[in-house]
Structure 1
Amino acid sequence: MAASDDGIHFKINPEPCFFRDPEKLFGEFDNHPIDSRITRIGDAWYICRPGNSPHGCIGLLYKTSDFKIFEPVDIIALPDNRVPCLFPEKIGNYYYRLDRPYSPGNRCNPGEIWISRSPDLIHWGHHRFLLGSFSNWNWDKLGPGVPIRTERGWLEIFHGVTSSCSMTSYSLGAMLLDLEDPSRIIGCMQSYILTAEEEYEFRGRTPGCVFATGAIADLETRELRCYYGAADTCTGLAVGDIDEIIDGCLKGR
């Protein structure tokens, strides 16, 4: 965990929140802790992340109120799924989530975004396809982030992946979902909002990778802060205008 007063200068806790521990509730299913998606619902924070188990990649759900004690809730996604992203409030009588089921090695299902709902955050159903690859910056696969409520719809920042003869490139895109029916896309940008361009986004363990699992919106200043992994080596911060991004979604830019 890292904490900051200004969102730029962070103090990192030397102790990890998650680590491999075969004695914990999830046992062998809780391996390789990466790619957490964090959603605040009420007074608690729910953390979804992959569990790269011997049986495939599953979705694990944890809960915390203080970021000191992390309570395991349940396995909420079958393999292979990486990884559910919870909406920050109920819509109607249901919790909703976005996720990315996929079939390793299957070119017909490399990774697309689906939506589902649950009465209790554990039992999920009513699965519906939401978005697949549609442009040259996301031909290979897509992956969701935690949706953000705005006055004009649910703003969803997602990543797209495409391969070339020299490398695999990650970029970030945006779409807008209906507030009352989030299974309905009301706008989607055709171009990316961020792609690897800076040196620190290329020099690292995974060159050309910009990877975000969520963003922070200030609806008063209309600023969107997106923290993202850069080349799997450092963390970057990108700042954008919420209304400009939403307009881009609605106009299909």
Structure 2
Amino acid sequence: MIKVKKEGVIIAKTVLPFENEGVLNPAAIREGDFVHLFYRAVRTGNNSSIGYCRLKGPLQIDHRNTEPLLVPEFDYESHGMEDPRIVKIENLYYLTYTGFDGVNALGCLAISTDLNHFEKKGIIVPQISFAAFDQLAEKESPINEKYFRYNQHNSDLEKNPGKSLVWDKNVIFFPRKIGGKFYFLHRIRPEIQIVVGVENLEDLTAAFYEDYLSHFNDHVVLTSRFDHEISYIGGGCPPIETAQGWLHIYHGVKDGLEGYVYSACAVLLDLENPQHEIARLPYPLFQPEMTWELKGEVNNVCFPTGAVVFDDTLYIYYGAADERTACASVSFSGLITELLLYKNNK
């Protein structure tokens, strides 16, 4: 079993109005000696914006903004901009986040050339009712019955008939094009899906997604396999390219006596065909055990969203108990070696 070091809390909430309830689930990207963190900043009322913090090295705070870097501007994000992830593809930074309008939570995109000014591109996932999703997704073959359990949003339907859509979150781009085309992960609970081979992001039209959802099972890249992820799984950190495959740190969820427990998990995906799973840890990479992970706004949560490598150490930034940002570290080469002990024989 690979050894993980809990480095502790990196960012805590402050008295500043935009982040007085929580600072969590950060996007992370390394540039030279610095790590740029774009975190979900939660204010009173559970409305979120995106804050910014720069680290010198993987752990030391060098600068932290006293105002949010990105705030809600449009209806689709009116109640919050949540859980960002970031990658650099060619000369552009792609920051994805969940826009919440009070009813629907959907994956959105903003792009930047300088990590300071971002241009919002709007929702990039399907906008579809559950009834329409069900009809399309089961067109060719039955889907996992858990989709019916997790996507009805009955309370929202009662309050907002006709306005509730299938929640599609955890949009995460691969940090380079594959075969000259975009690939990204996303999550309609309970599994992780993948969009592959997109020439231009403008091609993500309603017609594109109608065809995509008509072959839904073909696009499921990861499903629950082990006890610690038995309830559902979702994307975590942007994949990291290694000689052995794409390393993806994701989250797995198990429903226990005290509610859901969120753990960080690890998988290797094929470099040129990331729809193929090479290997997966059969145990959580790390799980809630420290006070800052066990108690908070939501108890028992380790929610990984960003990772960087310094020398041979992988630093994973994660939301701890939905209230603060913490970091865990692990040998990068050691993790790959450990994963390869558990190759998928399919």
1:81 counterpart residue number = 168
Q: What is the identity percentage for the equivalent residue pairs of Structure 1 and Structure 2?
A: 29
Q: CA deviation at 1:153?
A: 0.7
Q: Report the CA distance between 1:147 and its aligned residue.
A: 0.6
2:220 is the alignment partner of 1:129: yes
**RMSD (CA atoms):** 1.7
2:116 aligned with 1:37, yes or no?
no
The number of aligned residues is 238
Cα deviation, residue 186, structure 1: 0.8
How far, CA to CA, are the matches of 1:34 and 1:179 in structure 2? 29
Q: Distance in 1 between matches of 2:320 and 2:122?
A: 30
Counterpart CA distance in 2 for 1:243 and 1:187 is: 15
Shift in Å at residue 224 of structure 1? 0.6
Q: Rg bigger for which structure? A: 2
Q: Secondary structure at the match of 2:88?
A: strand
- Structure 2: which amino acid aligns with 1:204? G
Distance (Å, rounded) in 2 between the aligned partners of 1:131 and 1:157: 12
- Preserved contact between residue 28 and residue 54 of structure 1 (Cα < 8 Å): no
Question: Structure 1 residue 8 and structure 2 residue 67: aligned?
Answer: no
CA–CA distance in 1 between the matches of 2:326 and 2:253?
A: 18
Letter in 2 for 1:91: I
In structure 2, how many angstroms separate the alpha carbons of the residues matched to 1:57 and 1:33?
9
Equivalent-residue separation in structure 1 for 2:316 and 2:226 (angstroms): 22
Normalising by structure 1, what TM-score?
0.88
Q: Aligned residue for 1:51?
A: 99
Asked if structure 2 preserves the Cα contact closer than 8 Å seen for 1:63 and 1:71, the reply is yes
Q: TM-score, normalised by structure 2?
A: 0.65
Q: Report how far residue 181 of structure 1 moved.
A: 0.9
Mapped to 1, the partners of 2:202 and 2:328 lie a distance apart of 33
- Which residue pairs with 2:69 in the alignment? 17
Aligned residue type for 1:12: R
Higher helix share: 2
The code of the aligned residue for 1:227 comes to Y
- Post-superposition offset of 1:136: 1.5
Q: Where do residues 172-251 of structure 1 align in structure 2 (5 Å cutoff)? A: 172-218=264-310, 221-251=311-341
What stretches of structure 2 of length at least 5 have no aligned partner?
1-51, 127-165, 213-217
Q: Which residue is 2:199 aligned to?
A: 119
CA distance in 2, matches of 1:213, 1:69: 21
The one of 15, 28, 36 equivalent to 2:75 is: 28
Counterpart position of 1:154: 246
Displacement of 1:5 after TM fit? 1.4
Q: CA deviation at 1:55?
A: 5.6
Structure 1 stretches lacking a partner, 5+ long:
22-26, 103-110
> Following the alignment from structure 1 to structure 2, what is the Cα–Cα distance between the partners of residues 98 and 160?
15
Matched residues in 2 for 1:19 and 1:227: separation? 22
